Each structure stands twice: as structure tokens, then as C-alpha cells.
């Protein structure tokens, strides 16, 4: 059999681009043996051609001229691994207009300007493949888009940002405070020098937008996601949570009910027994609840050179086989226009809550606090008050049964106004995952 080469362009010779070059070169024979697709690197494009890379490009040309890719009629597939927003959007449109299918890991672009990019792909009858945009080496796009396609997805609970999970694991496991855990994550290479978009929850929200568009087949407006990061998580709450049997995780949460879809990124407690609670360090995982399949769970490395390259090259193979194009064309919100998702307001979601207050150590105060909750019809499932050791303030930790979020917010505001309550109360939802059974 003659090897009909599939010629590809890699745009962005950074970490992921390097991984893709390495993988295509090292595994070409193996990929050919298993799938019949023979990949050949034609172009590797980057503005910085001087930096030393840990891999040598054999065969293809390394240059800084996107135009050469656009003009090369033999190249039908381009991997955009540059990242960023405005320039990347222009690049996607040019590549699509030039008749290339685009494979990308650019979650920010697809989450915030996906509508525009997908419309361009439709216009030029091309596709955008994006397995690498969420959870790196874990093929969750395939799982949701194909494996669970026949299901109605009811809820998704994801740990989709390795930086945050590494930091929270450092706080939870070794008792470091947030600043120290962040510094160690940076030293270990699991957090960027500027970690803002990771720790403030934006990156998780990007992934949630993409996963939700796919899972529900609806247009998802990134701005509809309520986002809270981990940057004000306190070690004390992680500790109290552990005493109560919980781990604190930054969750990307999609929850579909008859009233609509709720999309949130927030630090939440999870029962220690849940598979999600046990995801530690830089790993990612997602629990998906679907009407027929029930609970399925996916775990692995959500970032890094080779895990992300694994997803990029998988997509390149799928594009080469023609499958990515058909999937894209078939999927609502991608190759087909979709209705906007009906969103449910955050206030209408319900949850169990963990509440920590610092209160004056004085008779009647706890009763007053519980009274405020009672007035809002908030049922308390547990309460923990420690004797004051040195000061006049004591921590009070309260857990609730299922409560409307709007009611909880009102109660917290009222508690904050009590003269006996010091500083802002800390209120963290306890994620009650549907039962496995």
C-alpha cells in the first residue's frame, strides 16, 4: 500500500507545538499501522525561530510566514497552537478561508468567540476540531460529543484546571496557605508566572463553555457563566471542611433542569468518598451524569506538552479520516446553528452550604445566628463551635441542607450585619453529586 501522506502545518512552536512535532515524528509509523493515516509535517510556523527547542524538525520547513501555509494547497490541516484571542481569531479565519481544517487547543478563543469561529468554518465548509481545548490528554470531547451523544446530559462536575487543583492539593495535603501553595506550584511548573486566568476561574469557565455547548447542543454565552476563583480561599476552611469529611475543589459545574441550564465555576466542598474529591495535584477529572449512561467519570492529565499533543494529534487523525468534518457538521452549536441555551439564574439553583462566621464569644450569639437562618427557612444539618482560646472571637461553622442560593445569600448578608459577627462570613457550597445508584 502506498502511504498517501497527510500533510500538516503546526502553527505555534511553543510547548504544545513542540509536543505535536515530537509525537508526529516519533509515532508516525505506529499511527500508520493502527489507523492507516501517514502524517507528514510540512510547516512549523513561529515568530521566534531562534529559541532552542528540545526537538528537531525533520523534513518540514520551519519558518515564520503564515502566508506560506495559506498558499500551500497540499496542506489541508493546520494546528493552531499559538493561543491568545485577537490574532488567533484572525488566523483561524484565514486558515479556514484558505480551505484548511483547523485543529486547536485554544479554549479561550472557542469559549469567548466560538460563535464567530464556527460561523467562519460553516461559511468555508471546513471544520474546527478541539479535543485538546479541554482536559488535555483525556478524550472528553469525544466522550461527550460521540460516546454520550444519545443521552440527555443532566449535570457535569469538572476539575478542569490543573493549576488550581495543584494549589488546593498543596493547601489540603500539606497545610500550606494559599500564597505558599501558589509559589510552590509556580516553582514546580504547574502555575504560570502570571497565574491570574487560572486562579480566578476564567480558564475553567472557558472549558465549561466548550463542554456545555457540546453536551447540550446549545449556544452558550461565556458571559452567562458565574465565575469565582480560588484566590481568596482560606486554609482554615479547607481544614474545617476536612473535619467534616470534605475536600475543597474548584469545580466547573453545569446543571440542567426543566427550569434551564446553570453554569458556574466556584470553589466547592465535595464528600471525600467521591472520585472527584480524590483527584489531586495537576490532574483533571469530570463526572458526567446522563439519563441513560448514568454516572461516568474521566480522569487524567489536563495539561502539559505530551498529554495536550496526544489530543491534538488525535484530532489531526480524525480530520484526516474525514470524521472530524462530519462530527463538526452534525453538531448543533458548531457546524449547525443552535438555539441559545435557556439559562437559569444563579439564585434559583439550590445547594447545601458550609458557612463559617467569626462571632463574639457571648451567650445567645449562636442562637441569634441560627435564628437568622431559621427565619430564611434554612435547615441546619450540623454546627461546630469551638471554645475561644485567646481572643474574644470564636469560629462558628454551620452546614445546611439543600437551600435556594438566593435565600442563602440573603441570610449571609443579614448575618454579616449582626453586631456580634466579625468580618465577612465565608459561605461555600457543598456539591451534592447525584447518587451513583
- If one asks whether residue 291 binds its own copies (CB under 8 A), the answer comes out as yes
Q: Which stretch binds its own copies (CB under 8 A): 49-57, 99-107, 192-200, 311-319?
A: 311-319
Expressed in angstroms, the distance from the first to the final Cα of the chain is 50
Q: Measuring CA to CA, how many Å separate 189 from each of 84, 193, 309?
A: 20, 9, 18
Q: Which is nearer to its own copies, 35 or 358 (CB)?
A: 35
Closest C-alpha among 425, 268, 408 to residue 349: 408
- If one asks whether residue 436 binds its own copies (CB under 8 A), the answer comes out as yes
Closest C-alpha among 235, 234, 228 to residue 251: 228
Residues 100, 107, 207, 249: which is the catalytic one? 207
- If one asks whether residue 344 binds its own copies (CB under 8 A), the answer comes out as no
Residue whose C-alpha cell is 445567645: 364
Q: Which is nearer to its own copies, 310 or 351 (CB)?
A: 310
Size of the site for its own copies (CB under 8 A): 66
Question: Is residue 200 left, alpha or beta, with left meaning phi > 0 and alpha meaning psi from -120 to 50?
Answer: alpha
Closest distance of CB 79 from its own copies, Å: 12
- If one asks whether residue 131 binds its own copies (CB under 8 A), the answer comes out as yes
User: In the Cβ-directed half-sphere of 330, how many Cα atoms lie within 13 Å?
Assistant: 9
Q: Which stretch binds its own copies (CB under 8 A): 122-130, 137-145, 162-170, 417-425?
A: 137-145
Q: Which stretch binds its own copies (CB under 8 A): 34-42, 95-103, 114-122, 257-265?
A: 34-42
Binding mask 35-74 for its own copies (x = CB under 8 A): xxx-------------------------------------
Is 207 catalytic? The answer is yes
Number of H helices, E strands in the chain: 14, 17
> Burial of 14 by CB count in 10 Å (0-12 exposed, 13-18 middle, 19+ buried)?
middle
Closest distance of CB 282 from its own copies, Å: 9
φ, ψ of residue 227 in degrees (nearest 5): -120, 125
Closest distance of CB 233 from its own copies, Å: 24
Alpha-carbon gap, residue 437 to 422, rounded angstroms: 43
Q: Which stretch binds its own copies (CB under 8 A): 55-63, 77-85, 323-331, 386-394?
A: 323-331
Using DSSP's 3-state secondary structure scheme, residue 69 falls into helix
Site for its own copies in 160-219 (CB under 8 A): 216-217
Using DSSP's 3-state secondary structure scheme, residue 394 falls into strand
Alpha-carbon gap, residue 13 to 49, rounded angstroms: 9
- If one asks whether residue 377 binds its own copies (CB under 8 A), the answer comes out as no
Q: What is the DSSP letter of 339?
A: P
Q: In which element (H, E) is residue 264 found?
A: strand 260-271
Closest distance of CB 422 from its own copies, Å: 40
Q: What is the DSSP letter of 243?
A: H
Alpha-carbon gap, residue 199 to 88, rounded angstroms: 23
Alpha-carbon gap, residue 405 to 412, rounded angstroms: 10
Q: Which is nearer to its own copies, 66 or 317 (CB)?
A: 317
Pick the binder of its own copies from 138, 185, 252, 421 (CB under 8 A).
138
Pick the binder of its own copies from 54, 175, 322, 434 (CB under 8 A).
322
Pick the binder of its own copies from 164, 290, 378, 412 (CB under 8 A).
290
Closest distance of CB 195 from its own copies, Å: 21
CB atoms within 10 A of CB 35: 14
Q: Which stretch binds its own copies (CB under 8 A): 86-94, 248-256, 325-333, 365-373?
A: 325-333
Using DSSP's 3-state secondary structure scheme, residue 113 falls into helix
Q: Which residues bind its own copies (CB under 8 A)?
A: 19, 23, 27, 30-31, 33-37, 131, 136-139, 142-143, 146-152, 216-217, 275, 278, 281, 283, 285, 290-301, 306-307, 309-311, 313-314, 316-318, 321-323, 326-327, 329-332, 336, 338, 436-437
What residues are labeled active site?
Answer: 207
Amino acid at each position: 500500500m502506498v502511504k498517501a501522506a497527510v500533510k500538516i502545518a503546526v502553527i505555534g512552536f511553543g510547548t504544545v507545538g513542540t509536543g505535536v512535532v515530537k509525537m508526529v515524528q516519533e509515532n508516525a509509523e505506529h499511527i500508520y499501522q493502527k489507523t492507516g493515516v501517514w502524517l507528514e509535517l510540512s510547516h512549523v510556523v513561529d515568530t521566534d525561530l531562534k529559541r532552542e527547542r528540545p526537538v528537531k524538525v525533520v523534513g518540514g520547513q520551519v519558518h515564520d510566514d503564515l502566508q506560506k501555509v495559506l498558499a500551500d494547497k497540499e496542506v489541508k490541516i493546520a494546528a493552531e497552537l499559538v493561543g491568545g484571542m485577537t490574532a488567533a481569531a484572525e488566523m483561524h479565519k484565514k486558515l479556514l478561508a484558505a480551505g484548511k481544517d483547523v485543529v486547536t487547543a485554544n479554549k479561550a478563543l472557542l469559549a469567548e468567540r466560538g460563535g464567530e469561529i464556527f460561523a467562519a468554518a460553516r461559511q468555508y465548509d471546513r471544520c474546527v476540531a478541539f479535543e485538546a481545548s479541554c482536559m488535555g490528554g483525556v478524550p472528553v470531547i469525544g466522550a461527550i460529543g460521540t460516546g454520550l451523544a444519545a443521552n440527555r446530559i443532566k449535570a457535569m462536575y469538572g476539575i478542569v484546571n490543573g493549576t488550581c487543583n495543584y494549589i488546593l492539593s498543596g493547601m489540603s495535603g500539606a497545610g500550606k496557605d494559599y500564597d505558599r501553595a501558589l509559589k510552590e506550584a509556580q516553582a514546580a511548573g504547574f502555575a504560570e508566572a502570571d497565574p491570574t486566568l487560572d486562579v480566578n476561574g476564567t480558564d475553567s469557565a472557558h472549558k465549561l463553555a466548550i463542554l456545555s455547548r457540546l453536551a447540550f447542543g446549545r449556544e452558550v454565552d461565556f458571559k452567562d457563566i458565574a465565575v469565582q476563583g480560588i484566590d481568596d480561599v482560606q486554609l482554615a476552611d479547607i481544614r474545617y471542611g476536612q473535619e467534616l469529611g470534605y475536600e475543597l475543589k474548584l469545580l466547573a459545574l453545569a446543571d440542567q433542569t426543566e427550569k434551564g441550564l446553570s453554569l458556574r465555576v466556584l470553589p466547592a466542598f465535595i464528600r471525600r468518598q467521591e472520585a472527584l474529591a480524590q483527584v489531586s495535584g495537576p490532574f483533571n477529572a469530570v463526572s458526567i451524569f446522563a439519563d441513560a449512561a448514568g454516572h461516568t467519570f474521566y480522569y487524567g492529565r489536563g495539561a502539559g506538552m505530551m498529554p495536550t499533543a496526544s489530543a491534538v494529534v488525535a484530532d489531526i487523525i480524525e480530520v484526516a479520516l474525514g470524521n472530524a468534518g462530519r462530527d463538526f457538521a452534525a453538531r448543533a452549536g458548531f457546524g449547525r446553528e443552535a438555539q441559545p441555551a435557556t439559562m437559569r439564574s444563579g439564585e434559583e439553583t439550590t445547594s447545601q452550604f458550609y458557612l463559617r462566621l467569626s462571632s463574639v464569644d457571648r451567650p445567645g450569639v449562636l442562637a441569634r445566628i441560627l435564628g437568622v437562618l431559621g427565619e430564611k427557612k434554612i435547615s441546619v444539618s450540623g454546627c461546630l463551635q469551638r471554645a475561644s482560646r485567646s481572643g474574644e472571637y470564636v469560629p462558628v461553622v454551620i452546614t445546611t441542607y439543600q437551600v435556594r442560593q438566593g435565600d442563602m445569600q440573603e441570610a449571609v448578608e443579614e448575618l454579616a450585619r449582626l453586631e456580634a459577627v466579625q468580618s465577612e462570613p465565608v459561605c461555600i457550597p457543598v456539591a451534592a453529586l447525584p447518587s451513583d445508584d
